[in-house]
Amino acid sequence: MNVPSPVITINQVSKIFNQGSAEEVVALQDINLEIQPGEFVSFIGPSGCGKSTLLRLIADLGTPTVGEVVVNGKTPAQARLGREYGFVFQAATLYEWRTIKKNVQMPLEIMGYSAQERDERANRMLEMVELGKFGNHYPWQLSGGMQQRASIARALAFEPSLLLMDEPFGALDEFTRDRMNMELLRIWEQMKVTIVFVTHSIAEAVFLSNRVVVMSARPGRIKDVIEVDLPRPRLFETREEPAYYNYITQVRESLRDAFQQA
């Protein structure tokens, strides 16, 4: 039997900023985690516990002080060059002077895709996030939720096997966020992509994830990994299930301890 190899292996990772100086910060300490293909894994924890730092190490936007990160069997730098992941930030980082479609095409331009290929892919991705009719609009003509959907379309333009998302819906109202969560799960199921997701919302983490990784601060460590065994597909009604509330309580209690440690 072939055991699938993990998409991400985080092996004994620590990250220390300004090491040896008075401003030294141990942002991450002794992090060990494997993420398998097709998983949806969320990170939650007090502000400053190193969630963004960890995501950035996976994305090669920083290097561990100790330990190693492996992405698809490669270094994060190699995975970055191979365009093996997409990254979505908290605020939609769209270019104001480009239409939505031109924004989605941007990474494809940089990579030298033909005009036809760019056009086809952008159309496909915009359809997927239900912005098919908005390709010719400018970012300011769209709501915050639509802009964030456009950012997701852009991150998926390469059809990467891995999507890294740092509080992508943090700035949205709760109703829009609930809808975006449904959309994201639909995309995740359709594209069979692995998602690593950072959030402040316990409800969001439980609703979306296979596993919720609870972190504690100073130093940032993994405190608990909670498996969320709710049936798929997750539906509107999932949020009314007693089992869903039980998971929320479990994460909340784990987080409470994480805050007390901090």
Residue nearer to ligand ADP on the CB measure, 2 or 47: 47
Q: Which does residue 154 touch among Mg ion, ligand ADP, none (CB within 5 to 8 A, set by kind)?
A: none
Cβ-closest position to Mg ion: 52
* 133, two tokens: 């009719």
HSE-CB at 248 with a 13 A cutoff on CA atoms is: 15
Q: Which does residue 196 touch among ligand ADP, Mg ion, none (CB within 5 to 8 A, set by kind)?
A: none
Residue nearer to ligand ADP on the CB measure, 57 or 187: 57
Q: Check: CB of residue 71 under 8 Å from CB of residue 58.
A: yes
Cα–Cα distance for residue pair 258/262, rounded to 1 Å: 6
Residue nearer to Mg ion on the CB measure, 35 or 166: 166
Residue nearer to ligand ADP on the CB measure, 25 or 66: 25
Query: Rule CB under 5 A: is residue 52 a binding residue for Mg ion?
Result: yes
Residue 123: which of 103, 139, 101 has the closest Cα?
A: 101
Residue nearer to ligand ADP on the CB measure, 183 or 224: 224
In whole angstroms, the minimum distance from the beta carbon of 37 to ligand ADP comes to 25
Q: Which does residue 138 touch among ligand ADP, Mg ion, none (CB within 5 to 8 A, set by kind)?
A: none
Cα–Cα distance for residue pair 152/163, rounded to 1 Å: 9
What stretches of the chain adopt beta strand conformation (E)? 8-17, 25-35, 40-44, 66-71, 85-88, 162-166, 194-198, 211-216, 221-227
In whole angstroms, the minimum distance from the beta carbon of 18 to ligand ADP comes to 6
Residue 40, Cβ density class (10 Å: 0-12 exposed, 13-18 middle, ≥19 buried): buried
Give me the residues that bind ligand ADP (CB under 6 A), please: 17-18, 25, 27, 47-53
x/- mask, Mg ion, residues 91-120, rule CB under 5 A, reads ------------------------------
